[in-house]
Each structure stands twice: as C-alpha cells, then as structure tokens.
C-alpha cells in the first residue's frame, strides 16, 4: 500500500473546514439578530407558565385547527425570518422572545409589541423608497420604525401589483411582501382592541369625570332591543342621535379590527366547519344574524375578562385563559383538537435543530476519525460519530412520526416533508451501508448528509414561511398513493443522493490519494455506490410507474409529460443508462463514480428545479432560492471536473509506468 | 488441431446481419438510446415553458416528428435530434433483441427477463395510447344528463339537415382533413344525400373574426360580409385555441355561394337552403357519443375551512343504459370505468360561483384501449426485479456459506 498524500490530506482538511464553517454559520450566526440588540421600553417577559398555557389555545388557520404556538411560529418566521428574537428591557437585561411570547405580546400588549424588531428587511432600498430611516442594508425593524412610511408603502405596493410576478424586480416584490406583512400584522396588533378599550358611552361622565366605558359583550347583549329601537328612532326622527352613532361606530371599528387575524371561536352550530374571529362574532350578533347570540356574547365576554385580568397580573390572566381554553375545547370537535398538545410539544422540542447540532458534532467527529486512521483514538471517535448520528436520526424519526400522527397521513406530502424524509432515510441508509461494508466511510458520510439536509429544510422553512402541516389538496389526499408512489420516489432520491455523496468522497479520496491506494476500500465503495444506484433504479422506476397509475386514476392519463413526471423519468433513464453502460463495459470505476455524481444533478432537477419552471400540475410556484440550486449544480460539476482530471492524471501516470517497465524490459533484453 | 488454430488466430468474420443484430441488441445502443431519451425529456420539459405542453409534445414525441431542433428561451440550439417516438421504438427493438432474445438464459437471469418483458409491455401500452386514446370532457348541471364528450383540441365541421325543428343526419369533416388547408390550399367535401358540396380553405389553428371597420386586414386576408379571419398566435394552453376557416357552398347545379366564415366559437351555425330543405354548417370541437347517458344527481365541492384549498369534489351520477339505471359516485382518485370509457372528476364551474350557487361538474372522459396496461406492466416489472433481488441474495448467501464451510474444513 502506498503512503497517503500529505498535500491531499491538507486539501481535504481545508475543504472540510470550509464546509463546517458554512454549517456553523447557518446554525448560529444566521439566526442571531442583525446589528445591536434593541432596547424595548416597557418590555416585560411573560411567565413561562403563561406561555405554556396560551401555546395550546386552539385556532383555525390554513384549513385546520392548530395550536396558538404553531400559528405564532409561522407568523414570526414570515415577518421576522427566524423563530426567536432578542431584546433588552428597561434594565438592560437581554431576553430571548420565542413565537408564542411574541404573538402574545402582539395581540395582548400591542403598545409594547410595536417596538419589537419584528420585520426583517433584506434590502434597505425598500425603506429608502418609503422615506423610512434605514439601519444596515439587511436589518430588523419595529412596526413603530416603519409606520411613518406606511401610506407610501401601500401606494408603491399597489403600483407594483399589476406587474406580472415573474417580471417584478426583487425590490418591487419585497415592497409588495412588506406591505402585505404590515397589513396582516395590523390585523393581529389591533385584534383585541375591543377588549382593551371597551365602548365609551359619550356624555356619561358627570362633573368632569371621564365618560363611562362598557364591555362589547354588554352592548352585544342589548342588541335584540337596541337594533329595533334604533330602526324605530331612525324612521321617526329621520336620524340617529350622535351618542348612539358614536356607540355604533365604536362597535363597527372594534369588530373590523378583530375581523381577521385569529379564527379562535368554534362555531356554535357543530355542523359547521368554519371557526369565527371575534369580529365575526360581534358583527353577527349586532346585526342579529347570529344563530346563537348567547354563545357569541359569552365567547367575547371570556376574552374580555382575560384581557382585563392581564392588567392586574398574569395569575388572573392565566385563570381567565384556562376558562377560555376550556370553553373552546368543550365546543370544538374532539377530532379537531386531539393533537393540539402534541403539536405544541413538537414545535417546542425543536427536534430537527437538536438533531442538526448532533449531526454537526458527528460530522466533526467523523473528520477526526478519518484523520486518525486506524488508531485507538480513531476508534473512540468512531463510537462518538456513531452514537451522535444514531441519537440524531432517532430524533428525526421521532419528529417524523409525530408529524404523521398530527397530519394523519404518511410522512411525505409536501416539499418540506421530502427534505426531512430524505435527510432521515439518507442517514439510516448510510448506517445500513456502514453495517454491511464496515469501511467507516459511510458512517462518516451519514452525519454530513444529515447536517446538509436539515440546513436545507430550515432554509426552505424560512423562505416559504408556510405551515407545512396544513392539509393537502383533494387530489393528493390519498394515503394509499402517498404511501406507495411518494415514498418510493422519495426513497429513490435518497438512494441517488447517497450514491452521489459516496462518489464525491471516492473521487476526493482517490484523486487526493487520501487512502494510500487502498484498493480494497475502493472496491468496497464502488460496490456500495453500484448497489445504491440499483436501489435508485428500482425505487424510481416503481415509484414513477406508480405515479403514472395514480395520475391515471386522478386525471385519466398515465403520463402527461408534466415537469415533475419528466424529472422522475429522467432519474430512471439516467440510472438505467449507468447500469447498462457498466454492464456493457463502457464505464469502469472512475466512470461509475463520475456518473453517480451527475445523478445528484438529475435528482436536484427533478426534486427542486422543476418547481421554478412555473408550469405543470406539480408546480409549487415558488421562486426564492433559485441561486442555491445553481450553486449545487456547480459544486457537483466541480467534483466531476476534479474527478476527470484525477482520472486522466492517474491513467497517464499508469501508462507512463507501463511504458517505463516495457522500456526497462527492452533494455534488459538488449 | 488445424481448425483450433484457425479459430484462435483468425476469428470468423461476422455476417452483416449478425453485426446489425449485435448492434441493435447491444448495451451500447441501450445506453445511447437511454441517454438520448433523457436529453429529449429534459429539453421537452424546458421547452414547454415557452410553447405549452401540447405543442411541445407534438414536436418531441409525435410519430409525425422524425427529427427536431430544440429551442430554449426562444433560441434555437444548433442540434438535430431524432423524434422521441422513434427513439422509443428503437429502445423497444433493443429491449426485445437484447433484453429478451440475446440475454443469457438461466435461473440467474430470469428476473431480468421478466422485468424486460414488463418494460416492453409498458412501451407498447404507451404506443397504443399514443395512437388510439380519445379524450374529452363532459360538463353537466345537477338534474341534467349527457351522452357526449367534447374533444379538447380537435375542431370539426358539421353539416346537418334541419327536420321538424331538430338537427338530423350529421356529416362530420374531421380535423385532420382541415388542418393542412392553410394559405391557398382548399379542399372540396361531398356528403351523401346533401345537395351541395363544401369548399373549405384558409384554416387557422387559433383565430378571431374581425370586422374590417375595427381593423383592416394586413396580410391580404379574404374579407367576406365585412369580416375576415385574423390569425392569433397559438395559445400555450392548446385547449384555448379557437379554430376558424373559410367555406363556400357549391350546389349540385354548379352554383356557388359567397364565401363565409366558420369559427369555432360562433353562437349560431351558417344555414344553407335548397328548396324546401334547410341545412346547417357549423364548426365546433368534436363531440363523441357514448352508448349510455350520464345524469348528474348531485355535485359537491368542498374546501378546507377558511381557505380556497380544495378538500373534496364528488359527483353522484346515474348511468342510464337501455332504461336501466346504476348509481355511481365519481370523485378524485375514484373514476368510473364502464364499457371502455373512464370518467374522472376533472373540474367544476362556474369559476365565479358564490356559496349557494348551483354548480356544474366537469368530467373528463377517456377511451384508452391500454388503460390498465401500465398497471399490469408494473406488476410484471416489480415481480421481475424482486426475483432478481432474491436470486442475487440467495446466491450471495450460498457463496458466504460455502466460504465458511471451506474455512471450517481448512481449520
């Protein structure tokens, strides 16, 4: 066996260091607030007990019932680009605010919430255009900081909206997005204004005392008498007295502020599916259109009590919230709320972040393990890598199982699902390969693959900011086909990506001579890659045909040349071409690994790129992150280019040696 | 001995036929064809962004397309590629010769052989569907029934006689007899028991009748009755194209009518009178009749609460044939298959329906002789692959066991 190349080892170490730094940047620095931690006057953190209680308040959003914490998480991701923010209170103490606390602040203490750095602005030119003072090019701003440019923002957004989406420049799109976010945020900010301010009864203040205030629920109770009386006065006098007009205006304003935002009141009529906002309940009662006004009045009263109690401290607030939540749960359909607690726990535990930290540790450990060769210390790192990877993958599996229970469907139904599923199954497959081949190579690859794919999942989650647990559209809502076709296709991606990663490792190892010309290890890796490609062929072929059969059941055609279908077919064709080329002796070891790396490009096209094309029935229609896919292609092509160069250099070196031996032999003969 | 040495030193030359056979059944051709199909699939995926699916498919995979020049982002790529239909045909030949006939026979290969059979069956299914599949849609309101489906793309000219206020004895000119009537091309059509012929010319795939007072013709288009047919660019969604053509009636005595416009979206047909007899001439999408009626009892469209995300579409229909009725439910992923026709829940309308409005269902009707063949072929392929896997696994286990036995003997 030859000695390992020192230069090669250094090159590999540098590449590994770059990869690690990128992963760490994503894990830590990218989630930290930009700029200095802002001081927020009057900020007081919520008690943990209060947060835990409110986190399980059921709401309807995105077509399903979900806990307050889930709703808060995706809202915060959408506005803030992260699930946490840091602020300083009056005493200069830094507090970390997570989604539930952030949304509680927004709806229950809006006067403080407007000072929180809620909005992530990626391009300060958007603020420049609306005459708002900018900080860095990319920073986070509070509502209070943006409010002065509000009107101009809406005007600009309105002027950009007629431009076709794909023709808008990034600044135009960001302006539209910010306007949309501000509007939505305002719907949350003013939601409980009816409960905070109540209704002022004009002219009731005697001797300079302020006018009296009453609850909305009290006014709602008087609606059956008040509304006909108003009609009578109007018909008799031709106009409504100012005081009554003011009262009606306040009711309308309060109802309008609470018209969107939180669909938190289950329908009084259990045959209905749509939950109501507080605004709906107020308006329906006041216009005498409510089927059960007494229920609506009690609902609004319960929220008013909670909001009022908050002024006296969180203990009373918690008691009122407990009654409110019980009231909601008693009326909601049991099936709708049975996993609320589980879902709140799922997001609270943050399984994938914890798994990512472990994968990252495993990746570092695996690099040390490879670097130390076969020593005893290396064996220690072998076990460290194995244990961190196994624990991390167990966390991922747990998370996926919980998701399946909450969604009541198989694990893969949307793009986010595919990322975490491929990450998890990729790691499991690597461990299985390690168990069979015992070459420490696949084990080292496992945590790297896990880290990369969880980073991708987190990136996608931030970019999409949509709840990935929401129900599926009718055509996808088939557990049979989701279990067969989708799982097969996704596992096919896993097999192909693992093969490509192993081949990247092979190319580096052989090209940089990191293995000291260890032919046994190379043979073992080639066998593993070949096996993975066979697995990919099988799963992709069966999955693609199953997809065709599903399409035949859904749309009446087996094959529609839809980009997603074509992508799946391309994987089948490419992997079949590799196998036939290998069987026909057209490609040998180098060729197999180079082709295997290209499989990753074909999979990336099918899995991600087709979504950017904007055509087809499987089109998810998103446009962000297009640059990342090109970076991925380039990285894979660089690996291939390096592989080609290494292959030619090795061949020319072998040819040179053979020629030298022949010359020597000729010389000896002569 | 001589023969042996002859065989060793001078390998027997292969006949041309053998060389052709070796080529057609070889791995190299298999690899090349698979790569070519991959390239065509990729290019077709990209090209449909600009040109729409229907036009791209016709360009890349129709039997009429022998070769093609790809185009991406509106720019032609200097590359001449064979049509996908013929590449598939070559793959079929390669699989039959290489994957079935030439493949080494034996227990170890039986799985591969079965899998190859499955793929061949699948390719044949694709070919049958390509040539014989018919596809249309049927829109029905609750309480109404229908026995015709409307084709998505094909425009036909229909000549019918009006008898007792109703249309009778239909004569149809199919789309493939019309689409080549561009520019100065024209064709005369005769019909049995109809006292006139029809000369059709100037067919346009996507058109719009325009009044010359609104816009004067720019390309010397024929103007008739103050109108001419304006050629619109083909729509990316081919279903939206509206065909048009010029027609002229020639009576049996040689008298000709003035040319008139036939337009695929006109409200009323052109009428021709010959003595007491009255005829209509109309252009519309082809309607094809089924041997039974479908009556819609109830249509339900449900969305996930508070969203526009579809949750469920269900059409409760009655299939009526020879006075016999059968109740059937058609919903997403649950079509109705009957007498070679398959009905799928495709869409609904009207698009601007509000809660409480009466909605109609749109059923996609497909007649495909190879409807279930891909499913059967999947079972064959999966079985073949499973056999291969088990054969390899058993072989591997036996090898390991033998090695262990030998190792034990040595000890």
- pLDDT tens readout for residues A2-58: 666 677 777 777 887 787 777 777 666 555 555 678 899 999 999 999 999 999 999
Q: What is the CA radius of gyration of chain B?
A: 30
pLDDT, position A29: 58
Nearest to B38 among A275, A474, A574 (CB): A574
Nearest to B305 among A274, A473, A546 (CB): A274
Q: Chain B interface, mutation test: which of A270, A335, A535, A557, most B Cβ atoms within 10 Å?
A: A557
From chain A, pick out residues whose CB is under 8 angstroms from the CB of B48. Answer: 561, 563, 615
Number of other residues whose CB lies within 10 A of the CB of residue B58: 13
What span, in angstroms and rounded, lies between the C-alpha atoms of A471 and B4?
74
Q: Is the pLDDT of residue B337 over 70?
A: yes
Give start and end residues of each alpha helix (H) in B52-165. Answer: 53-61, 84-94, 110-132
3-state SS assignment for residue B266: coil
Show me where the domains of chain A are located: 39-192, 194-257+267-331, 500-664
What is the full DSSP assignment across B330-389?
EETTB-EEETTEEEEEEEEE-TT--TTS--EEEEEEEE-TTTTHHHHHHHHHHHHHHHHH
CA B161 to centroid of chain Cα atoms: 32
Strands (E), B141-226: 145-163, 166-173, 186-190, 196-204, 207-211
Angle of helix A626-669 relative to helix A589-607, nearest 10 degrees? 170
Give start and end residues of each alpha helix (H) in A81-162. Answer: 99-108, 110-113, 125-129, 143-146, 150-160
3-state SS assignment for residue A3: coil
Min Cα–Cα distance to chain B from A552, Å: 8
Chain-chain contact of B333 with A62 (C-beta, under 8 angstroms): no
**ipTM of the complex as predicted:** 0.84
pLDDT in tens, A447-505: 999 999 998 898 888 888 888 898 887 777 777 888 889 999 999 999 999 999 999 99
Nearest to B382 among A470, A542, A552 (CB): A542
Query: How many Cα atoms occupy the beta-carbon half-sphere of A407 within 13 Å?
Result: 25
Buried b (16+ CB within 10 A) or exposed e, B60-89: bbeeebeebebbeeeeeeeeebbbbbebbb
Nearest to A474 among B45, B312, B381 (CB): B312
User: Using H for helix, E for strand and C for coil, what is the string for A353-374?
Assistant: HHHHHHHHHHHHHHHHHHHCCC
Secondary element (H or E) of residue A140: strand A139-141
pLDDT in tens, A526-567: 999 999 999 999 999 999 988 888 888 887 778 888 888 899
Report whether A617 contacts A560 (CB < 8 A).
yes
Nearest to A558 among B35, B374, B381 (CB): B374
A247 burial (CB, 10 Å; 0-12 / 13-18 / 19+) is: buried
Instruction: Kindly list the distances between the CA atom of residue A63 and the CA atoms of A56, A184, A264, A276, A336, in Å, as whole numbers in the listed order.
Output: 18, 18, 13, 13, 11
What span, in angstroms and rounded, lies between the C-alpha atoms of A436 and A592?
20
Chain-chain contact of A542 with B38 (C-beta, under 8 angstroms): no
A-B Cβ pairs (cutoff 8 Å, strict): 149
What span, in angstroms and rounded, lies between the C-alpha atoms of A108 and A51?
12
pLDDT in tens, B5-37: 444 555 667 889 999 999 999 999 999 999 999
Secondary element (H or E) of residue B3: helix B2-9
Reference A356, options A434, A451, A279, A469; nearest CA is A451
From chain B, pick out residues whose CB is under 8 angstroms from the CB of A556. Answer: 135, 335, 342, 344, 346, 364-366
Instruction: Kindly list the distances between the CA atom of residue A350 and the CA atoms of A70, A284, A395, B171, in Å, as whole numbers in the listed order.
Output: 12, 40, 10, 69
What span, in angstroms and rounded, lies between the C-alpha atoms of A91 and B73?
59
pLDDT in tens, A425-449: 999 999 999 988 888 889 999 999 9
3-state SS assignment for residue A522: helix
Chain-chain contact of B27 with A558 (C-beta, under 8 angstroms): no
Min Cα–Cα distance to chain B from A658, Å: 26
pLDDT, position B9: 54
| Minimal-distance CA residue of chain B relative to A550 | B333
Secondary element (H or E) of residue A139: strand A139-141
Which B residues in the span 10-29 are in contact with A, Cβ-Cβ below 8 Å? 26-28
Chain-chain contact of B41 with A541 (C-beta, under 8 angstroms): no
Chain-chain contact of B41 with A566 (C-beta, under 8 angstroms): yes
What span, in angstroms and rounded, lies between the C-alpha atoms of A518 and A370?
14
Which B residues in the span 373-402 are in contact with A, Cβ-Cβ below 8 Å? 374-375, 377-378, 381-382, 385, 389
What span, in angstroms and rounded, lies between the C-alpha atoms of A89 and A112?
11
Which B residues in the span 111-170 are in contact with A, Cβ-Cβ below 8 Å? 122, 125-126, 129, 133, 135
Q: Chain A interface, mutation test: which of B38, B55, B389, B400, most A Cβ atoms within 10 Å?
A: B38
pLDDT, chain B, mean: 89
- Edge-to-edge order in the sheet of strand A38-39: A38-39, A85-88, A94-97
From chain A, pick out residues whose CB is under 8 angstroms from the CB of B134. Answer: none
From chain A, pick out residues whose CB is under 8 angstroms from the CB of B26. Answer: 584
| Minimal-distance CA residue of chain A relative to B95 | A580
């Amino acid at each position: 066996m030859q000695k390992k190349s020192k230069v090669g080892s250094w090159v590999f170490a540098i590449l590994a260091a770059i990869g690690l730094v990128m992963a760490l940047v994503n894990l830590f620095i990218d989630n930290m607030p930009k700029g200095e931690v802002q001081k927020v006057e009057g900020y007081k953190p919520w008690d943990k007990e209060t947060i835990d209680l409110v986190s399980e308040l059921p709401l309807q959003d995105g077509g399903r019932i979900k806990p307050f914490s889930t709703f808060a998480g995706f809202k915060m991701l959408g506005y803030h680009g992260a699930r946490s923010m840091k602020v300083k209170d009056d005493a200069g103490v830094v507090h970390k605010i997570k989604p539930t606390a952030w949304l509680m602040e927004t709806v229950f203490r809006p006067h403080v919430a407007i000072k929180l750095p809620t909005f992530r602005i990626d391009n300060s030119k958007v603020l420049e255009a609306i005459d708002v003072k900018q900080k860095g090019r990319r920073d986070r701003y509070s509502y209070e900081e943006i409010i002065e440019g509000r009107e101009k923002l809406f005007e600009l957004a309105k002027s950009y909206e007629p431009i076709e989406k794909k023709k808008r420049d990034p600044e135009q799109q960001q302006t539209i997005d910010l306007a949309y976010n501000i509007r939505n945020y305002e719907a949350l900010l003013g939601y409980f204004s009816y409960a905070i301010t109540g209704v002022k009864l004009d002219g009731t203040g005697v001797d300079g005392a302020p006018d009296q205030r009453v609850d909305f629920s009290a006014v709602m109770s008087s609606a059956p008498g008040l509304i006909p009386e108003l009609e009578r006065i109007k018909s008799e006098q031709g106009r409504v007295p100012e005081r009554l007009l003011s009262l009606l205006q306040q009711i309308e304003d309060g109802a309008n502020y609470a018209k969107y935002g939180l669909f938190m009141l289950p329908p009084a009529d259990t045959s209905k599916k749509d939950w109501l906002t507080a605004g709906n309940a107020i308006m329906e009662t006041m216009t005498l259109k409510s089927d059960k006004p007494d229920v609506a009045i009690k609902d609004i009263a319960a929220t008013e009590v909670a909001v009022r109690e908050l002024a006296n401290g969180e203990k009373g607030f918690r008691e009122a919230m407990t009654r409110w939540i019980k009231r909601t749960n008693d009326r909601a359909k049991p099936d709708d709320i049975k996993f609320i607690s589980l879902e709140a726990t799922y997001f609270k535990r943050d399984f994938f972040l914890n798994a990512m930290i472990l994968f990252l540790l495993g990746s570092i450990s695996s690099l040390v393990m490879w670097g130390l060769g076969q020593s005893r210390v290396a064996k220690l790192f072998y076990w460290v890598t194995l244990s961190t990877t196994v624990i991390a993958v167990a966390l991922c599996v747990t998370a996926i199982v919980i998701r399946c229970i909450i969604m009541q469907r198989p694990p893969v139904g949307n793009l986010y699902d595919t990322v975490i599923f491929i990450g998890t199954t990729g790691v499991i497959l690597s461990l299985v390969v390690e168990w069979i081949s015992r070459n420490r190579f696949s084990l080292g690859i496992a945590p790297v693959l896990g880290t990369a794919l969880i980073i991708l999942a987190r990136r996608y989650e931030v970019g999409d900011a949509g709840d990935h647990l929401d129900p599926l559209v009718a055509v996808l809502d088939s557990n049979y086909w989701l279990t067969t076709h989708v799982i097969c296709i996704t596992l096919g991606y896993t097999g192909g990506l693992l093969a490509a990663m192993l081949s990247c490792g092979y190319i580096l190892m052989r090209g940089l001579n990191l293995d000291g010309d260890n032919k046994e290890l190379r043979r073992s890796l080639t066998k593993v890659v070949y096996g993975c490609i066979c697995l990919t062929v099988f799963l992709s072929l069966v999955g693609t045909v199953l997809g065709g059969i599903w399409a035949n059941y859904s749309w009446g055609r087996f094959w529609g040349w839809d980009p997603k279908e074509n992508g799946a077919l391309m994987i089948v064709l490419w992997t079949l071409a590799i196998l036939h080329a290998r069987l026909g002796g057209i490609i040998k070891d180098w060729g197999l690994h180079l082709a295997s790396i290209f499989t990753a490009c074909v999979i990336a096209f099918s899995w991600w790129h087709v979504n950017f094309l904007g055509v087809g029935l499987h089109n998810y229609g998103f446009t962000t992150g297009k640059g990342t896919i090109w970076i991925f292609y380039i990285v894979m092509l660089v690996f291939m280019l390096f592989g080609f160069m290494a292959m030619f250099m090795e061949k020319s070196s072998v040819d040179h040696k053979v020629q030298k031996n022949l010359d020597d032999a000729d010389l000896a003969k002569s | 001995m001589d023969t042996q040495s002859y065989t060793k030193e001078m390998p027997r030359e292969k006949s041309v036929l053998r060389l052709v056979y070796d080529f057609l059944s070889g791995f190299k051709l298999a690899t090349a064809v698979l790569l070519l199909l991959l390239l065509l699939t990729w290019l077709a995926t990209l090209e449909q962004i600009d040109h729409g699916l229907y036009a791209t498919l016709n360009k890349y995979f129709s039997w009429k397309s022998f070769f093609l020049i790809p185009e991406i982002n509106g720019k032609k790529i200097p590359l001449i590629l064979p049509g996908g239909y013929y590449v598939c045909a070559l793959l079929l030949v390669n699989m039959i010769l290489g994957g079935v006939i030439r493949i080494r026979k034996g227990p170890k290969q039986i799985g591969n052989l079965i899998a190859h059979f499955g793929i061949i069956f699948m390719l044949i299914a694709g070919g049958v569907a390509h040539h014989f599949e018919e596809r249309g849609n049927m829109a029905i309101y609750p309480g109404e029934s229908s026995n015709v489906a409307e084709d998505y793309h094909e425009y036909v000219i229909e000549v019918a006689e009006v008898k007792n206020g109703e249309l009778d004895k239909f004569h149809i000119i199919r789309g493939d007899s019309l689409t080549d009537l561009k520019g100065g091309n024209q064709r005369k059509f005769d019909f049995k028991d109809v006292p006139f012929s029809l000369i059709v010319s100037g067919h346009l795939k996507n058109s719009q009748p325009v009044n010359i007072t609104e816009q004067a013709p720019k390309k010397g288009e024929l103007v008739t009755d103050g109108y001419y047919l304006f050629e619109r660019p083909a729509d990316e969604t081919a279903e939206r194209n509206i065909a048009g053509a010029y027609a002229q009636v020639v009576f049996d005595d040689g008298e000709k009518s003035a040319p008139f416009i036939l337009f695929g979206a006109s409200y009323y047909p052109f009428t021709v009178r010959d003595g007491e007899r009255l005829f209509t001439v109309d252009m519309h999408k082809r309607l094809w009749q089924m041997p039974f009626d479908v009556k819609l009892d109830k249509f339900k469209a449900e969305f996930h609460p508070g969203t526009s995300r579809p949750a469920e579409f269900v059409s409760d229909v009655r299939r009526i044939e020879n006075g016999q009725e059968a109740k059937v439910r058609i919903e997403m992923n649950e079509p109705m298959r009957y007498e070679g026709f398959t009905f799928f829940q495709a869409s609904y309308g009207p698009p601007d329906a509000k809660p409480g409005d009466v909605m109609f269902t749109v059923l996609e009707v497909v007649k495909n002789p190879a409807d279930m063949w891909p499913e059967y072929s999947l079972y064959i392929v999966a079985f073949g692959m499973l056999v291969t896997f088990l054969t390899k696994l058993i072989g591997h286990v036996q090898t390991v066991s033998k090695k262990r036995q030998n190792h034990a003997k040595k000890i």
